[in-house]
Chain A
């Protein structure tokens, strides 16, 4: 849950965005840069759509305001995300594992959940 307290060691900063109706979050420590799609093309970055990277099945997403997330570990390839919203401080106490039934099926890089403004955010690893 979002806290307005000063950042503590047990907090992480989470960059949130929305794909379709679902809100996702990534630890800012994993992000090298957030750039426009045009910039990514100019830099000749290999860009993968989020729904392909995270295996949404056949679902194709119509992006409203696409941006490219460049992971720290691999700056030459980015992930296309949509509707980047906010950077929030999330206490580790407020991060919960995925429910067991979901965890056994979904992508291993979706590793947890938290609540920001009472909305569920699925936490992902970029790599």
Chain B
């Protein structure tokens, strides 16, 4: 007889009743507790689907691209102009021997103009079969956000931007507008 059962047997009033019940082994109880906890964790994991976002700044606030579309983040360097392209295509850059285009996302979205010298990063993104650099002020963070923290686009956004917005989330208590690179590249290519 286990020591715990012996103690229970000796305890007043419960001896007869408890001895008639099939007793679980402690190890079995521990395993059951562990299994329950694992199931809860698994359920929590299912609930906590997350989205990786690359958060960056433009002159008027925080924006983000989905992490899966971002291939590389580079410091902004010399951009070689190409004649005849729209103003929002800034030119081409050399990325370790590959030539990539660079777009001015600020100009493309019709946001307030910025000093090009204030741009510190180029995000290399891919979508809709197109790969291109995107000039931004600075990349602030790369982090996972719970999917349910992403809200629909703000109704106050203008139509030009809204068509390229996946949704909104919060970063450091500030609103972050999540942009869809596929739609942006598709729109540029179609023009």
Contacts and interface: CB of A to CB of B under 8 A. Distances in A.
A22 B94 contact: no
Interface string A49-88: 0010011110000000000000000000000000000000
B22 interface: no
A23 B91 CA distance: 12
Interface of B: 80-86, 89, 91-94, 97-101, 103, 129-132, 185, 188-189, 191
A110 B82 contact: yes
Given A101-B103, A101-B185, A122-B82, 10 more contacts: A22-B83, A99-B92, A100-B101, A100-B131, A102-B85, A105-B191, A106-B84, A110-B82, A115-B99, A120-B99
Contacts of B89: 101-102, 105
Contact of B82 (A1, A22, A100, A119): A22
B99 A107 contact: no
Contacts, number: 83
A119 B97 CA distance: 10
The size class of the interface chain A forms with chain B is 20 to 34
A55 B82 contact: no
A107 B84 contact: yes
B84 A122 contact: no
Interface string A11-40: 000000000111100000000000000000
Given A113-B92, A118-B94, A106 B99 contact: no
Contacts of A56: 83-84
A42 interface: no
Interface of A: 1, 20-23, 51, 54-57, 96, 98-102, 104-107, 110, 113, 115, 118-120, 122
